[in-house]
Amino acid sequence: MPTPSDMRDFDEVLPSLRAARRAGKLVPFLGAGISRPECRGWPDFIQALYREFDESPGTAVRGDDPEGLYRAADRVAAWLRLRSSKDRQDILQQALHARTPPEPPDQAKALAEFVWPLILTTNYDEVVPRAYSQNPAKEKNLSPLLLGRSPEDCAQVVRSLDTLAAPIVWYLQGYVGDSSPSRSLLDEVVIGHQQYQEAINAGTTFRRAFSEIYRRRSLLFIGSGLAESYFVNLISETMFSLGPSTQPHYALFCDADNNGRLDPEFIAVRLGITPVRYGKAHGELPEALRQIASDASTTLHGTRVPGLTSVSYAIPRASMTEISTPTELSTLDVEIRNSRLPTPAERTCVILSVGRDPEGGIFVPACGQQATSFLEAYLGSNNWSTAELVDNPGLPQGRMWRVVSDGKRRSAFLLAGRDVNEKLDRQARSLAAITEATHQALKKVEALGFTKALMGLLAAGPSRTDEPPYCLVAQLSGIRAFAAESRKRGAGLRSVAIHIIDDHAWSALMQGRIPVLDLLTSELARVLVRVRAPGGSVEEFAVSVPHDHTIDDVLRMYRISGKNIEIEARPSPRRGRAEMGSVRVFPGMIIDVFPSPSEGSGNF
């Protein structure tokens, strides 16, 4: 029987886990333990399935006899195939759940307290989606997408490694829950030997996708004994074909897991996974998960966690003579910092993100936490409460205000990333407005003689579902538009720094899912088009187009037209547009096109 000395101690590995988590590379791989005791373990699940058919599995169903379990499971899987989809789902749910509906256990709740870009699971249940839906802070996060083993889903999982996407729970063995994924995953449920063989041998795309995840991310196995030959073979195939992964992988165990089947040496040497002892009993798992994840959000602007705290770029900018003839190229330094905004030095200004409220026929700034906390520290609480907020001339009313205190114009500005219109619409939030507002604000502070601008991360508004990473993309696009304009001879604005304390945005940046240099310099935006046929098949195209192109412009490139189609775009730069086709593209946009359910087809 293995002893604790055969494993790494949790405290010893914790800094590495936190570093991987902070970089967005740590991917939980969930086994049955994450759902216990609300869901049955594998032997009890098979026995419960037999009871649903009024049969007995005999003595084959024992936890210490995996081969007997597979044979017993294969028989009941054959019976399930003959049932309707609704009957299969009901039978599987009844057999799986020790309680109905399952209440997420503490370890699942702890996991759902944090945003994970990707989660892998061999479970069929909806414990994790339910834990996210019950999270009191769920409004801060997008609900995870539930994906399976289809080629389309596998492509979406792999694409998420390099692009901004909603969090994903990848169900590797099917899903029987009531939470609705993009399509039914019931037919992907793997129980018997035949189904395992089909999944691992016929699923070439799935195997390639799993291999990509295994080699590019650090997997954290939770609630899994790593004893299933199905996934041992998947991992072994990857290592045999491409060699050991350069990314470290980890598996969490406690002393109670030492049941005679756990082999830490095999896990470490043959699978390349570091076994980690987190405590004596399973009840210590929730706290271990919180220790891994919470540090990433509570000390982003501290110094306790090693890692990058800033990234810098130098982008070209043309300089003009008095007669507007290009004479030389200068550079604009762009820095993204993982810290709070500092007090501005000489010829440096601070640009803070605010909302806006209608008042007396005009817009006034609505200061949130970013602006309020900075200005209270910058001016002092008393001076901030009596400060004037003055509209900047030359910009649309409700776009930008300058802070005036004690009769002095301060080096602090308030910027509203809202659509400018003639209506007093405080809800006019959009990503496109962030790009426009950033461009306009930088032109204004340059004209006022500042040489350096410090910006907080602009927000599109609390009622939008856009994640902070998309807001950062929009802000960088605004800096690109500003740098593309030639400046007059003179000092001009030489440096722009964006200060980020949001965990999600910084992790996406560290993962490489935000192509910063391309956003700062390229005249083209990369977009993905997915055409969904009536039968459910999907064809994908990727294209780079000028930033002023509309969705219709993109679709015309593929001869897609007609009034009988529906268009969805994510993220949508503008909210509430009746005609999606007239919306301008946004970097990283995904455009879904499908036939209108009430009409005939357009041209595909």
Average pLDDT for 461-469: 59
pLDDT value of residue 303 = 33
Please tell me which residue, 209 or 461, carries the higher pLDDT value.
Answer: 209
pLDDT value of residue 527 = 92
pLDDT value of residue 39 = 81
pLDDT value of residue 478 = 95
pLDDT value of residue 61 = 56
Cβ–Cβ under 8 Å, residues 286 and 110? yes
What is the chain's mean pLDDT, rounded?
Answer: 82
pLDDT value of residue 581 = 81
Lowest-confidence pick of 150-164, 414-428, 581-595: 414-428
Q: Is the pLDDT of residue 321 over 70?
A: no
pLDDT value of residue 82 = 79
Tell me how far apart the alpha carbons of residues 595 and 564 are, in angstroms, rounded to a whole number.
6
Task: Report the C-alpha dihedral over residues 55, 60, 66, 72, rounded to 10 degrees.
Answer: -30
Average pLDDT for 305-314: 79
Average pLDDT for 488-513: 84
310-521 belongs to which homologous superfamily?
Leucine Aminopeptidase, subunit E, domain 1 (3.40.220.10)
DSSP secondary structure code for residue 102 in this structure: P
pTM of the model: 0.80
Q: Range(s) for CATH 3.40.50 in the chain?
A: 4-36+105-298
Q: Determine the 3-state secondary structure of 204 from DSSP.
A: helix
pLDDT band at 91 (very low <50, low <70, confident <90, very high): confident
Q: Is the pLDDT of residue 73 over 90?
A: no
pLDDT band at 546 (very low <50, low <70, confident <90, very high): very high
Tell me how far apart the alpha carbons of residues 487 and 220 are, in angstroms, rounded to a whole number.
50
Q: Is the pLDDT of residue 117 over 60?
A: yes
pLDDT value of residue 46 = 81
Please enumerate, as own/partner, the contacts of 322-330 that have beta carbons within 8 Å and a separation of 24 or more: 322/488, 322/489, 324/486, 326/486, 327/489, 330/487, 330/492, 330/494
Cα–Cα–Cα angle for 550, 554, 555, rounded to 5 degrees: 115
Average pLDDT for 377-396: 87
Cβ–Cβ under 8 Å, residues 197 and 233? no
Q: Is the pLDDT of residue 423 over 90?
A: no
pLDDT value of residue 431 = 85
Q: Which residue has the tokens 């702890």?
A: 110
Q: Is the pLDDT of residue 324 over 80?
A: no
Q: Range(s) for CATH 3.10.20.30 in the chain?
A: 524-595
Task: Report the C-alpha dihedral over residues 482, 483, 485, 488, rounded to 10 degrees.
Answer: 110
pLDDT band at 298 (very low <50, low <70, confident <90, very high): very low
Q: Range(s) for CATH 3.40.220.10 in the chain?
A: 310-521
pLDDT value of residue 307 = 65
Please tell me which residue, 413 or 124, carries the higher pLDDT value.
Answer: 413
Please tell me which residue, 350 or 104, carries the higher pLDDT value.
Answer: 350
Q: Is the pLDDT of residue 154 over 90?
A: yes
- pLDDT tens-digit map of 248-280: 999 999 988 876 677 888 888 888 899 999 999
DSSP secondary structure code for residue 507 in this structure: H
pLDDT value of residue 4 = 44
Q: Which fold has domain 524-595?
A: Ubiquitin-like (UB roll) (3.10.20)
DSSP secondary structure code for residue 344 in this structure: P
Structure tokens at 470: 């998309």
Residue 53: Cβ-neighbour burial (10 angstroms; 0-12, 13-18, 19+): middle
Q: Is the pLDDT of residue 419 over 90?
A: no
pLDDT band at 445 (very low <50, low <70, confident <90, very high): very high
pLDDT value of residue 534 = 77
Average pLDDT for 104-132: 90
The CATH code of the domain at 4-36+105-298 is 3.40.50
Cβ–Cβ under 8 Å, residues 177 and 125? yes
Closest Cα partner for 384 from 403, 370, 368? 403
Please tell me which residue, 90 or 500, carries the higher pLDDT value.
Answer: 500
Q: Distances in Å between the alpha carbon of 362 and those of 110, 390, 423, 424? A: 45, 12, 10, 7
Q: Which of 44-53, 200-209, 329-338, 345-354 has the highest mean pLDDT?
A: 345-354
DSSP secondary structure code for residue 257 in this structure: G
> Kind of pairing, strands 168-171 and 487-488?
unpaired
